[in-house]
Amino acid sequence: MSNYRDYAAALGRLLLVALFLISGAGKAAAPAATKAYMASAGMPLIDLFYIGAIAMELGVGLLFLLGYQTRLAALALAFYSVLTAVIFHHDFADPAQWLSFLKDIAIVGGFLQVFAFGGGVYSLDSRLPMRAL
């Protein structure tokens, strides 16, 4: 049974972070559109937050996928997901916004599970001699 859990943990990491990797690549490919969307949400310091979003989604997302410092990456992505939910999906009178907010919070739940239990056997954390968070 533990073998199934090991595969499920690796597949779970992939499925959980796929959204962030695809979104980060989209942001990198279309900076003007991304910055315009951020500006429409009233965000300040658009260039700084644009770079931060790409770093989180691609950089931390890749660390999470590979299972390197998985717990720390999961915690960072959980925090990032809460921020995006609050900044971009706060109009609860709009059913689509409410659903997007709930989706983001559900993703936070997934990241907190990985934070609690780690990346699993098929992660760099389990193969490297240094101790992960």
Please indicate, yes or no, if residue 133 is contained in any of the structural domains: no
Please indicate, yes or no, if residue 13 is contained in any of the structural domains: yes
pLDDT tens per residue across span 12-66: 999 999 999 999 999 999 999 999 999 998 899 999 999 999 999 999 999 999 9
Task: Give the pTM.
Answer: 0.90
Query: What's the pLDDT band for 91 if we cut at 50, 70, 90?
Result: confident
Contact 17, 74 (CB under 8 A): no
Show the tokens assigned to 81.
């997901």
Contact 100, 89 (CB under 8 A): yes
Contact 46, 39 (CB under 8 A): yes
Contacts 24+ apart (CB under 8 A), 87-94: 87/41, 87/43, 88/41
Contact 73, 63 (CB under 8 A): yes
Please indicate, yes or no, if residue 132 is contained in any of the structural domains: no
Question: Cα(14)–Cα(43) distance, rounded to whole angstroms?
Answer: 30
Q: Is it the case that residue 131 has pLDDT exceeding 80?
A: no
Tell me how many domains the chain contains: 1
What is the domain extent for residue 28? Answer: 2-127
Q: Is it the case that residue 104 has pLDDT exceeding 70?
A: yes
Of 69, 84, 89, 77, nearest to 133 by C-alpha is 69
Show the tokens assigned to 32.
């003007």
